Amino acid sequence: MSMRAMILILFSLATVFCERSVVATEASGAASTEITVVVGAPGTNEYAEMFSLWTEHWKAIAKRADVPIVTIGDAKSETSDRQTLETRLQAIRDSQATHWIVLIGHGTYQRGVSKFNLQGPDVAAEEIAEWLKIQDNGVDDLDARGPMVIVNCTSSSGPFVNALSAPGRVIVTATQSGTEQNFARFGKFFTDALRSSDSDLDHDREVSVLEAFLSASKQTQRFYDTEARIATEHALIDDNGDGLGTRAETFRGTRPIAMAKEGTEVDGKAARRITLSVGDESSDAKPEPLSKEQTAARDQLELKVEALRDKKDAMSEADYYSELESLMVELAKIYHPASE
């Protein structure tokens, strides 16, 4: 058997049992995961029904992943949705849990300001950024919080990348700029992707933020192609903190094929490790979770694999595959016992 074949087998063994699930996080004693879905002003009955359906899909995702979900804007309240959102964000901003914040509705862009249309006063991207800050001597303390995934499914959402990008955050927007102002359909395809095993590009029986983004981007473009229309939305993902964002076309599979600016990690590495799905949707069986120690060891090994891949062009083929084999063996030792 060739070295490459052996590595492929080991890699397959590792990825089959690579379960980065919410269940694994909670079972190992680490921080949990929570979802906040904010439903904006629909404007028409048609959009109201659409946004309600998307919200129900998020509730189904939360139920399947066994995580709590908070919804804002889908029911009447004595407090304005804007105030409720501000209170919610300030309550979770220093949490060590992984938080998903999902904005469903319409967006606007005027005079350089991108806003999410709430029922009542709207909210600008910069205001959300301010509500999420943890001040320590006047400086936002980015190390005092857990990972955060912010998904803005609205039109004119691109500037939310610029405003909200920071280390430890994954930002997904339906559009690449504020000037893409037509209604955005990306949000539907994003929830569809999280609920479908077809989005599992690396075949680890889970759908990551990155995989959902890539699948939703593809399905969004397919919608416009089928309708013989010019696409008016081009989604972005940002998880390296540079505030620039990356389009789906920049990836081959789940790996970026373009270089980031000097001194900056490419987008996608963090988003590839965050999931909500647990196992195969068609199966009731759930994998045995990794322990806290196994999870930490796995994360370190995966970072070493990423670093090795980045150095591939500067290495001999023999050295590259020798080091890769060693790392894959160590990964397999972690994953396989956790599945038995």
What is the full DSSP assignment across 254-285? Answer: TEE-SPPSTT-PPTTTTGGG-B---S-TT---
Nearest by Cα to 187 from 88, 19, 20, 42: 42
pTM as predicted: 0.81
Does the pLDDT at position 61 exceed 60?
yes
From CA 310, how far away is CA 84, in angstroms rounded? Answer: 44
Q: Which residue has the higher pLDDT, 141 or 4?
A: 141
- Quote the pLDDT of residue 18: 44
From CA 47, how far away is CA 336, in angstroms rounded? Answer: 47
Cβ contact 156:181 at 8 Å: yes
Q: Among 218-232, 249-263, 295-309, name the most confident range.
A: 218-232
Does the pLDDT at position 4 exceed 70?
no
Calculate mean pLDDT across residues 7-25: 44
Confidence of residue 88 (pLDDT cuts 50, 70, 90): very high
Does the pLDDT at position 82 exceed 70?
yes
Calculate mean pLDDT across residues 305-316: 86
Confidence of residue 155 (pLDDT cuts 50, 70, 90): very high
The encoded tokens of residue 30 equal 């680490």
Express as a percent the part of the chain with pLDDT over 70.
Answer: 79
Lowest model confidence (mean pLDDT) among 54-68, 73-87, 225-239, 302-316: 302-316
Calculate mean pLDDT across residues 281-291: 55
Lowest model confidence (mean pLDDT) among 25-29, 256-260, 309-313: 25-29
Express as a percent the part of the chain with pLDDT over 90.
Answer: 59
Residues 24-37 have pLDDT tens digits of 333 333 448 999 99
The encoded tokens of residue 303 equal 């970072």
Does the pLDDT at position 77 exceed 60?
yes
Calculate mean pLDDT across residues 157-173: 97
Q: Which residue has the higher pLDDT, 26 or 107?
A: 107
- Exposed / middle / buried, residue 280 (Cβ in 10 Å: 0-12, 13-18, 19+): middle
From CA 15, how far away is CA 251, in angstroms rounded? Answer: 19
* Residues 30-289, CATH architecture: 3-Layer(aba) Sandwich (3.40)
Cβ contact 142:167 at 8 Å: yes
Cβ contact 65:21 at 8 Å: yes
- Quote the pLDDT of residue 135: 58
Q: Which residue has the higher pLDDT, 13 or 121?
A: 121
From CA 294, how far away is CA 335, in angstroms rounded? Answer: 8
Question: For the chain, which residues make up each domain, given as ranges?
Answer: 1-19+291-340, 30-289
